[in-house]
Structure 1
């Protein structure tokens, strides 16, 4: 009975979000959190005050991911209304008439960089309209962008799925670094398969084979720096990998390296002023520069932004509140328990760099007050439902993990461990993919299933870093079949009632990804 009741909320959640008339995540996740609360209090006899404190902490914790999303969407809308996005589209079209080059530069490298900076479905939403504008068929483009936007997702939105998604597991810094390194290596191996399958949705095999040299070089231009940066940093692998890959892919395409050049390439229009292009690219350059300045430890800025030196402190009935000199907001001893919450206002990538870059863009692009109001209004309109979904997910996770060795999360981990033993390593990535599928977020997948994966690894004796890397990579590959992303891209592309068709197509590259993860696990355990 304890195992059945522990699994019931997750099973119902999966059923509700995958049935023919699926329940939206902003209904399903809060409802699941409520069910977990009822089971914890009614059957497991959990402490009610501790449950309430965990719920409050979960609700407050949503401020971290939702503020990042808000900043990313706001920057995206500012670029749209300022005309910078249109200039970038024209420039990317002018680089090459070769279809493979266009698909790899925009659908792969450019989307790779955008994922590293913002994540949360933004890359596919930006890349799809550009590719459709180039004349590619609408439905295949939607499938391609969803498939391509998987490899960088583990480190999307400045590494949020890793550093925030796994933050509740009390991992040491060295273990978290190992998880990041293995995740990057696993994703790099999958990158030799996934983009090729994605291209096949749009163009025939003969064009892929004749331009295979460029495809491989473009893949390596993103994934090599991606893996290298992951050796020392959790936040920049996708951002720097995408930026380097975009520049190198453009250079390679301009010189026709590895490409079967079409006859009309000599007539490519070069009407864009280079100053206009640089100006349109400047927000992304500024974004990267600010992130580097605030994340490199040797500069001292990172330490200051994370400082918890108290500036204000006050104690009330519901706990102790604190604001540091660096505007780190804390709520400790919530309801008299040992539960606490913290929000690093200046370090979480929201105000810095997104809002800061937006403030620079407004005068830079001479935006009118009406354009700014429209950008802010659209940003607010897009945040309501994701905010509700994230609150439900975070509260559910906090309650599922309450109770230590008798918690529902721990009991599920024990059950999986006993059922599969060491063989769990070959299927662990699929659990991460399932999390992204029903939640719409790799971060939420890691939050939801990271505890289960950790418990299984410890119970069976598998390397923790390997299993959590499989969870992170699985959450990334689940991005291909994520319902939220599919609906978002379909809406932007003007596709109606094709969600089932898209899922059936993207399922195949996701399974290929899972096969790579399984082979990686086999090789790692054999060497281990």
Structure 2
């Protein structure tokens, strides 16, 4: 039996924590300093974690390698599987040609006001893409659509990067939060689900605050004070309905669907509102952007049927998740297969607290959101195959199935990065490296609550993924909070939420996001970085203050 020590390096906790940071520092240096690819950086960091575990923590080499294989298995399924299915789901709408009708729909609803159109595309539709796909898809797609409206490249880049912060925590059907729950559950699927639900509820008391103000910021970025003065009513409707739905869904519904439902509700409310309210000074605004006066006749070909068909996939995904998460969750969970990981299960590896760190792998083929997205995508493809218009929008289920292979191939490096990052996290957790860092940070007392979001911010800023940041730091956050006497009356789940939200505000400065925005808009990455960095830091400071208050005087507001 291997049992991790808290201070294996010279019996000194501080020195041990410093050595335990070597794999993380290796990852960051490779990515930011050496400019290596993310999967290469993760691979080198994994080797460093194995060496630290074997040499520093005296973990048997066989156990260290087996820990890495369990992490890789979890990274591949369900995490990479969920993300591939999410990206594929959106690809079905692209292959069918229906995504172009969605763009026309936004233009028609906005009554020619490109400020309102940009808000709906970047915030509502971009949020929907983040909810289903994530990993840069919202930035790439919405930046192109907003440029087509006539918005300048610098403004388009800043708008899409800022808008992409609101839904990140629940992105890719809440994969970051699901990952956080799994990283601290010790392999117990029921505990993982319960933890993830609680973390999602806490995030639901944080994220809406930022979401409510972003539509106003978009108006200011696009057209200064005049934009905010002319368009504050729809911005208010958009932000408040998104925020309220995000809070309700994360606390009282299926948290995986939080952003899907929030974006659809927000979009629907803006559509209804725009039928009752007309934007001011539209032609004057279009002239400032170098555009011709607006004519509703331009979109006469967009029929009600085509609009409905463009929105059908998103209605289907809501229904499928509602049935699976609210109707038959126990039936689906009953099919889960628990696999004691060969060679290390049964208490072979125990942490310093005497508990199994999670050496049982759960194969949840039917209860995973990835399979739900697969079903929703196939149903969408079936509907599209039955409804064509004069030979247009032809789609078959077979074509959708073939697209799965193309999507998986296109995401092979992203998937490999996730698998390697999860391997790194498992080695650090099982060997005790994470526990040593957590115990050291616990010495910061109540100040840890303020420091906590910075870890998620750094993790996502470097990796480009809130999921990866949670895989790296969730165990650390949980152990540090649990061991901190000053936080004895505060749920450790607050700090899992804090890590998640730190990643939310760090996403806009990640190399991955910057590179995607640069390709989509033609702007230089360094120029985009200069624009978004002040926003990211401002949001981070606000988040640190919020978490500090929630850990003290506002603790009564937490679910």
TM-score by length of 2: 0.83
Counterpart check, 1:482 vs 2:502: no
Larger mean Cα displacement after TM superposition, 26-35 or 183-192 = 183-192
How far apart are the structure 2 equivalents of 1:513 and 1:198? Answer: 15
**Structure 2 residue runs without a partner (length 5+):** 1-14, 186-190, 284-292, 347-358, 387-392
SS in 2 for 1:342: strand
In structure 2, the CA distance between the partners of 1:358 and 1:201, relative to structure 1 (3 Å rule), is farther
Any stretches of 5+ residues in structure 1 without a counterpart?
308-325
Deviations 1:484-516 (A, max 9, x none): 22223333x2526x2222222222221222122
Name the SS of the counterpart of 2:430 in structure 1: coil
Q: 1:287 to 1:370 in 2, by over 3 A?
A: closer
Q: Partner residue of 1:439?
A: 463
Corresponding residue for residue 95 of structure 2: 81
Distance verdict in 2 for CA 1:372–1:357, change over 3 Å: closer
- Tell me which of 412, 423, 443 is aligned to 1:395: 423
- 1:382 paired with 2:406, answer no
Residue 218, structure 1, aligned to residue 218, structure 2: no
2:32 maps to 18
The match for 2:10 is none
Query: d(CA) in 2 for partners of 1:91 and 1:172?
Result: 40
- Pick which of 25-34 and 44-53 moved more: 44-53
- CA offsets per residue over residues 184-206 of structure 1, 9 Å max, x none? 12111122444434444433232
1:511 correspondence with 2:531:
no
- Are 1:448 and 2:472 counterparts? yes
User: C-alpha displacement at 1:49, in angstroms?
Assistant: 2.9
Q: Using the alignment, how far apart are the partners of 1:356 and 1:374 within structure 2?
A: 16
Q: 2:165 aligns with which of 150, 155, 169?
A: 150
Deviations 1:158-180 (A, max 9, x none): 22111233312125766544422
Match in the other structure for 2:49: 36
1:179-198 → structure 2 map (5 Å cutoff) = 179-198=199-218
Check 1:199–1:456 CA distance in 2 against 1; reply closer, same or farther (3 A cut): farther
Paired residue for 1:93? 107
2:246, 2:262 within 8 Å by CA — same for their partners in 1? yes
Q: Deviations over 1:383-413 (max 9, x none)?
A: 210121111110110011124xxx1111112
- What CA distance in whole angstroms lies between the structure 1 residues aligned with 2:197 and 2:164? 23
C-alpha spacing 1:442/1:361, structure 2 compared with 1 (3 Å): same
Q: Supply the distance in 2 between the matched residues of 1:200 and 1:508 (Cα, whole angstroms).
A: 15
CA distance in 2, matches of 1:176, 1:267: 46
Among residues 435, 450, 474, which one is paired with 1:410 in the alignment?
Answer: 435
Q: Distance in 1 between matches of 2:496 and 2:397?
A: 46
Q: Which moved more, 1:176-185 or 1:276-285?
A: 176-185
| Structure-2 residue corresponding to 1:343 | 363
CA distance in 2, matches of 1:119, 1:488: 12
Question: Is 1:109 equivalent to 2:132 in the alignment?
Answer: no
Contact residue 142 and residue 489 of structure 1 kept, 8 A: yes
CA–CA distance in 1 between the matches of 2:537 and 2:297?
A: 39
Q: Is the 8 A contact 1:189 1:516 kept in 2?
A: no
- The Cα offsets for residues 271-323 of structure 1, whole Å up to 9 and x where unpaired, read as 11110110111111111111111110xx2x2111111xxxxxxxxxxxxxxxx
Determine the structure 1 residue equivalent to 2:321. Answer: 291
Is 1:253 paired with 2:274?
Answer: yes
Work out whether residues 339 and 361 of structure 2, in 8 Å CA contact, stay in contact via their aligned partners in 1. yes
Alignment match, 1:457 = 481
Tell me how far apart the structure 1 counterparts of residues 419 and 341 of structure 2 sit (CA, whole Å).
20
- The yes-or-no answer on 1:331 pairing with 2:339 is yes
How far did residue 458 of structure 1 move?
Answer: 1.7
| Contact 1:400 1:408 (C-alpha < 8 Å) held by counterparts | yes
Contact 1:194/1:512 (<8 A) preserved: no
Relative distance call for 1:427 and 1:193 in structure 2 (3 A) is farther
* CA deviation after TM superposition for structure 1 residue 74, in Å: 1.8
Give the secondary structure class of the aligned counterpart of 1:367: coil
Which of 48, 56, 64 aligns to 2:69? It is: 56
In structure 2, the CA distance between the partners of 1:202 and 1:22, relative to structure 1 (3 Å rule), is farther
Q: State how many pairs are aligned.
A: 498
**Aligned partners of 1:368, 1:265: CA distance in 2, in Å?**
37
**Partner Cα separation in structure 1 for residue 181 and residue 475 of structure 2:** 8
Shift in alpha-carbon separation, 1:139–1:468, aligned structure 2, 3 A: same
Q: Distance in 1 between matches of 2:344 and 2:538?
A: 49
Contact between 1:101 and 1:253, CA under 8 Å: does it hold in 2? no
CA distance 1:41–1:361, change in 2 (3 Å): same
Would the alpha carbon gap of residues 333 and 178 (structure 1) be closer, same or farther in structure 2, given more than 3 Å must change? closer
Distance 2:80 2:394 in 1: 28
CA gap of 1:194–1:434, structure 2 versus 1, over 3 A, is farther
Residue 127 of structure 1 deviates from its aligned partner by 1.7
Residue 129 (structure 1) aligns with: 144
Equivalent residues of 1:94, 1:268 under 8 A apart: no
SS in 2 for 1:341: strand
Query: For residues 421 and 199 of structure 1, do their structure 2 counterparts lie closer, same or farther at Cα, with a shift above 3 Å needed?
Result: farther
Larger deviation: 459-468 or 62-71?
459-468
